[in-house]
Chains A and B, each alone.
Chain A
Amino acid sequence: MTLATSTAPAPRALAGLLAVLLAVLTLLIPSSKAEAMKIQEVKSPGGITAWLVEERSVPLIAMRFAFEGGNAQDPNGKEGLANFLAGMLDEGAGELTSKEFQERMETIAMRMSFDDSRDAFYGSFETLTENRDKAVALLALALNKPRFDADAVERVRGQLLAGLAYAARDPDRVASEQWAAMAFSGHPYGRPASGTPASVQTIMRDDLAAFWSRTFARDNLRVVVVGDVDAATLAGLLDTLFAKLPAKATLTPVAQTQPKAAELVKVIDMAVPQSVARFGLPAMPRKDKDFMTAFVLNTIVGGGVMSSRLWEEVREKRGLAYSIHTSVQPYKQTSIFSGGVATKNEEIGQSLDLIRAELKRFAAEGPTDKELADAKSYLTGSFALRFDSNAKIANQLLWILQEELGLGYVDRRNSEVEAVTMADVKRVAKRLFEGKDLIVTIVGKPKGLAATPAKRS
């Protein structure tokens, strides 16, 4: 193996035999018998780069990959196209019909699935070591030669339409979709990710093929592999899978945006006994200097732990909800602080008033020293829990790759959490919440919302 610190391309002959390790990193979580995790950067002869963590104790290989360009790339009127494509990639490829493809997947116990987010198209692949080459060959077919047969397209369309019919009556789904529709009105982020019955009806074979051919490329690809494989072998597998894809993706630029409210509280009438609310505000992007502070702040306010401010106020003290949570979600072109709560129709107004009051109080006073210390202690202590299986390590590393946080992030992350000060949290609390009105959607038959604020002018 060659260790190098430069990013200069490796000599062709050498690269043909050996993957070049551009960097090796050790995960500095305290370890007993557990070996420190080493991340290797592998570059294949065909120019595909991947992160690899070798883990030989379980005869499994897990791969995660992402093509930048998710459902925000759906053309107007073709909403739900990326989602449709995600359902088509195990429906036949190369010489194999849908049924043949899926039977072969079962025979070799290969796991493969695809998913779309706003900004990326995801693939997940797992195989037993003993079936590695067969499984990789099958995944390669799915990625490079999907068939999009007419009968499979129609069958999947039927499933998607049934799913939409169900989702249209699911208060959680409706609340989330309507929140995005309002906050990102006119922007791709505001469109329904799974489309509408009308848009899904218009999606044809050519649309699927077009999305596939402009999105599945080498320059927008990120790959992570964890498990029972060495770098040299992986290099060959990477080429089998990805080297024949087009060099460049053709993505439609997506504009930066900020959530904004046409109305502060939008009520969608549905005959359910419990109202489901989504609420949110603009937040800072991942690269903003305040992002980590916002992340710590969110843990105190409503994220992650069963002792957050909102958990205490809404659930523990008053029993107003089973679930109350918030998160900071950085998208590529926006960022939001958002949350959800569900309370019986008669008292949903009280839950929302409490949430508003608590955010206002937090903006004015910030957290207590103990709250901040506890949140940091939780976040740093629990980081290792994200790395206790091959599959979870792969998920984490893919995310780090996509966010361009760098190989060093795993080591750096806890010290970034520790560095957040009380002054930081107070400043960012004001930046997030002061003078801001929550954008709210409620699905149900809410009663007594009189206390909701008028929109600021």
Chain B
Amino acid sequence: MSPGTRRLSLLLALPLMTFTQSLQTLSASPAASRVVEFKLANGLQVVVIPDHRAPVVTHYVWYRVGSADEPAGVSGIAHFLEHLMFKSTDKIASGDFSRIVSRLGGQDNAFTSHDLTAYYQRISKDRLPRVMEMEADRMVNLRLAEKEVLTEREVILEERRSRIENNPSSILGEQMLAALYQNHPYRIPIIGWMHEMAKLSREDAIAFYKRFYAPNNAIVVVAGDVTVEEVKALAEANYGKLKPNPDIKARVRPQEPPHRSPRRVELKDPRAGNASVRRYYLAPSVTNAEPGEAEALHLLMKVVGHSSTSRLYQKLVADEKIASSAGGWYSSSSLDSGTIGLYAVAAQGIGLDKVEAGFDRVLAEVREKGVTDDELERAKKAFIADFVYEADSQVRLAQRYGEGLLLGLPLERLNSWPAAIANVTADDIKRVANKHFDLRRSVTGTLIPVAPEAGSGVALKPASDKS
């Protein structure tokens, strides 16, 4: 883990974080049968995933709050608070949290998405009591000094520059989400808009903290060399004494109106590489999809866009040679809405209109004829195998169950995901393709390289020698 990724924003719109990698299960797996869930009297949900191969544990706290729960005008406060959680409490001096964890031979970090904020430590099993004590402490006892808040605000502004401002592809993605969602806060970037981030205050952070951080708004996951009894005792001793917050409410966000017209976003930037095109469609999330729908969408997009055997790659890259890369994905792991995505980089000398027409041909074909038995079979096998591979990593298991439960999926649903995948038919796939490849519910974005304006000088020439 490089320090550069510390306290990172987790951008759920990215294909890397789709549920294809975090939710399938297989009854034959050694992991599913071991997972145990219980609740403390104060409402804290606890999950234990024993794995005795190495004497280490992964301890996660997942809060049911993310950037989509922010009040208007303070975009980025969820992520900013995540940074500030590493400051002080009555028992921990400022900045000592991570210092203590590393002195104990552990590694820690945190991340924020639209729907969740998570903190974790990876550490030798005998140090679990100590990190649990520290995590319980900062759940309710955070203290923030004005100066450290202002300094940390500079850090998140630099983080935004690194992640977004320095990268035209990220800027386009941000613009596209802002256009895809017309009413839902998913249109606001997780890290926040620069002008609002620059004004975030200690008071904003504390108000957000007091409103959302409480045992009855959190899930603790412990994976690794522990027993359920050990975790039960530890959780009672550390988290059990915390008072619940009676004001925690159901998470109701503004929802999308019917979408009536396709949107387009064009970004011309001298820093773009080859011209590229992307498209996002609104889609159901795993929590609001009809039974079997999310599973069918995952399989559909595996066939359409995953890897070089996919329809998009085979048509646009291998056969027609109009793109140098192409693919697609389905992200279902959010509370209110999922996303389907397509992308392609144009081959040399090929216009983006041609590439986009290629998208439409591939989608039209799958809407009309569906997928082949062979494609469906391979896609299903891939999902089930992913699950077994995931059982090798206690971190990934902790993420699968933590994230799934946070979204409100019952344990049984998480464990029966492979069966649900296996039940999907070719007809189901054709049906969801016709239902969700609806241009009116989409945004198409293009990133086009242009010559630098006079004086902006993006060319890679060495500047004057400063030494």
Contact = CB atoms under 8 A, between A and B. Distances in A.
Interface in A329-385: 340, 342-344, 374, 377-385
Contacts of A155: 317-318, 321
Contacts of B456: 271
B235 interface: no
Interface in A381-412: 381-385, 387-391
A107 B381 contact: yes
B247 interface: no
A55 B53 CA distance: 8
B152 A381 contact: no
B225 A162 contact: no
Contacts of A139: none
B158 A270 contact: no
A421 B251 CA distance: 55
Interface residues of A, number: 95
A7 interface: no
Contacts, number: 255
Interface in A98-124: 98-99, 102-103, 106-109, 111
B388 A32 contact: no
A385 B155 contact: no
A315 B162 CA distance: 14
Given A34-B52, A162-B273, A381-B104, A318 B151 contact: yes
A1 interface: no
Interface stretch (A72-80, A202-210, A247-255, A449-457): A449-457
A24 to B, nearest CB: 18
Interface string A160-195: 011001111111001000000000000000000000
Nearest to B156: A322
Contacts of A57: 30, 53
Given A33-B52, A58-B30, A319-B152, A267 B466 contact: yes
Interface string B338-382: 000000010110000000000000000000000000000110011
B54 A342 contact: no
Contacts of A385: 56, 105-107, 122-123
Interface in A414-457: 449, 452-455
B467 A319 contact: no
A384 B54 contact: yes
Contacts of A165: 273-274
- Kindly name the residue among B153, B157, B324, B386 whose own CB sees the greatest number of chain A CB atoms within 10 A: B324
Contacts of B166: 171, 272-274, 276, 342
A237 interface: no
Given A106-B309, A274-B165, A58 B95 contact: no
B169 to A, nearest CB: 8
B42 interface: no
Contacts of A98: 308, 318
A169 B6 CA distance: 24
A137 B56 CA distance: 35
B214 to A, nearest CB: 26
Interface residues of B, number: 88
A109 B385 contact: yes
B199 interface: no
Contacts of B124: 30, 381, 384
A300 to B, nearest CB: 11
B460 A391 contact: no
A384 to B, nearest CB: 5
Given A29-B55, A34-B53, A158-B347, A378 B467 contact: no
Contacts of A452: 466-467
B224 interface: yes
B35 interface: no
Contact of B460 (A60, A174, A305, A318): A174
B389 A322 contact: no
A161 B348 contact: yes
A366 B155 CA distance: 28
B133 interface: no
A290 B439 CA distance: 63
A319 B80 CA distance: 13
A289 interface: no
A217 to B, nearest CB: 28
Contacts of A5: none
Interface string B7-19: 0000000000000
Given A57-B30, A165-B274, A307-B95, A388 B56 contact: yes
B460 A268 contact: yes
A171 B166 CA distance: 8
Interface stretch (B180-188, B260-268, B390-398): B390-398
B388 A270 contact: no
B465 interface: yes
A261 to B, nearest CB: 9
B457 A271 contact: yes
B105 A382 contact: yes
A23 interface: no
A186 B464 CA distance: 22
Interface string B280-316: 0000000000000000000000000001110000100
B392 A307 contact: no
Contacts of B156: 322
Contacts of B317: 155, 158
Given A60-B392, A270-B460, A315-B155, A325 B4 contact: yes
A324 interface: yes
A320 interface: yes
B462 interface: yes
Nearest to A344: B161
A33 B125 CA distance: 11
B138 to A, nearest CB: 15
5 contacts: A109-B384, A169-B458, A269-B460, A271-B457, A320-B154
Given A109-B386, A265-B467, A381-B104, 4 more contacts: A98-B308, A169-B273, A269-B458, A378-B105
Interface of A: 29-35, 55, 57-60, 62, 98-99, 102-103, 106-109, 111, 126, 128, 151, 155, 158-159, 161-162, 165-171, 174, 263-274, 276, 302-308, 311-312, 315-325, 340, 342-344, 374, 377-385, 387-391, 449, 452-455
Q: Which 9 pairs show the lowest CB-CB distances between chains A and B?
A: A381-B105, A319-B154, A109-B385, A166-B273, A323-B4, A274-B161, A322-B159, A306-B98, A165-B273
